[in-house]
Amino acid sequence: MSDVGAALPKPRIDILPALTPLIVAALVAPFIGSFSTFATLTLASLAMGAMLFTMASGLTLAFGMMDVLNFGHGAFIAVGAFVATVVYALAAPLGQGSLALDLGVFALALVAAAAVCGALGFVYERLLIAPVYGRHLEQILITIGGSIVIEQLLLALFGTEPIALSPPPALQGSLTFGEVGVEKYRLVALGLGLALFVAQLVVLSRTRIGLLIRAGVENREMVEALGYRIDRLFIGVFMAASALAGVGGVLWGLYQNQARAGMGGELLVLVFIVIIIGGLGSVTGCFVGAVLVALISNYAGFLAPKLALVSNILVMVAVLLWRPRGLYPLGAR
């Protein structure tokens, strides 16, 4: 056909948004003063960003693909943290201190939180989400209602007082590199967050199910017209999103040293800021957004504590003024 020779615009690799955390760090560094403080703050931010990504990545996929405004996502974060308290309580008789045992119990807490939250996500999607697909107002109301029910169930089961949750002894304490100190647990959280990021990228780009998810984010109807059951894919994505929230809840609970029924609701605003900054439906955008939010939050907390509370809102406004659909927007639906 004569269109063969038509010039094709070269695929543009949009690297600038990915560089924003580096640019922010470079701009802030001179104001911090000491290199060791800057490095410690930055490493802590990266760990916090990895945890935020873990909690938010499922929501961005579910939001981007299913067009579902799940204001109950935070409840799964809290459930994950409480599952960890149960696992730690059950494992207490085994003792602590051995690296293998500590890591084994930690891994078990993560797997159990993912499994419980994934299963809860299945019930939640079938009961609450499925009847209101395409109806945003109803979604907001029913998912807020669902999160209240889950939160009240947690209060009834575990009581109103926060339950202590500490990283296993093998993951407590700090490592020092010269004058730079970093908590071992934060390094583990950072590694886990990075591993989940890479795993999601691999699944999304190298597997058929990943292609279907990416295609579904863009055009659900056409995925169905190609012969795939989009409703089953939705359930799978929602369960995965809930499982990731649960894993994030374990990481955050151990980071905050407690599990509270209200923790998910408090984190939800931050999680929404991350996915809006990143671009709805974009896993890469979610990762960059999470790191950016964590960096600015920690830098602001150090340099201007009074600004720390509004720093995340300010960064979201700035990003949306620059890129109204987020750092890595996907194709319009």
Binding region for another protein (CB under 8 A): 1-4, 6, 8-11, 208, 211-212, 214-215, 217-219, 221-230, 330-331
- Which CB sits closer to another protein, 30 or 134? 134
**Could you tell me the smallest distance in angstroms from the CB atom of residue 214 to another protein?**
6
- Which CB sits closer to another protein, 144 or 211? 211
User: CA 321, CA 113: separation in Å to the nearest integer?
Assistant: 37
**Could you tell me the smallest distance in angstroms from the CB atom of residue 268 to another protein?**
27
Taking CA 63 as the corner, what is the angle to CA 62 and CA 69, rounded to the nearest 5 degrees? 115
**Could you tell me the smallest distance in angstroms from the CB atom of residue 52 to another protein?**
24
The CB density around residue 274, as the number of other CB atoms within 10 Å, is 29
Amino acid at 120: L
191's tokens: 């590694």
User: CA 184, CA 173: separation in Å to the nearest integer?
Assistant: 6
**Could you tell me the smallest distance in angstroms from the CB atom of residue 170 to another protein?**
42
**Could you tell me the smallest distance in angstroms from the CB atom of residue 70 to another protein?**
22
- Which CB sits closer to another protein, 11 or 178? 11
* Phi, psi for 244 (deg, rounded to 5): -65, -40
Helices 283-303 and 35-66: crossing angle, nearest 10°? 140
- Which CB sits closer to another protein, 2 or 34? 2
- Which CB sits closer to another protein, 137 or 332? 332
Question: Smallest Cα–Cα separation from 293: which of 45, 23, 35?
Answer: 45
Helices 73-91 and 263-278: crossing angle, nearest 10°? 130
For the chain, what's the residue count? 333
**Could you tell me the smallest distance in angstroms from the CB atom of residue 278 to another protein?**
15
- Which CB sits closer to another protein, 1 or 321? 1
Q: How far apart are the first and last CA of the chain?
A: 29
User: CA 299, CA 95: separation in Å to the nearest integer?
Assistant: 38
- Which CB sits closer to another protein, 9 or 305? 9
* Phi, psi for 96 (deg, rounded to 5): -140, 170
- Which CB sits closer to another protein, 175 or 225? 225
**Could you tell me the smallest distance in angstroms from the CB atom of residue 11 to another protein?**
5
**Could you tell me the smallest distance in angstroms from the CB atom of residue 236 to another protein?**
15
Residue 98 exposed, middle or buried by CB count within 10 Å (0-12, 13-18, 19+): middle
248's tokens: 């994030």
Amino acid at 272: F
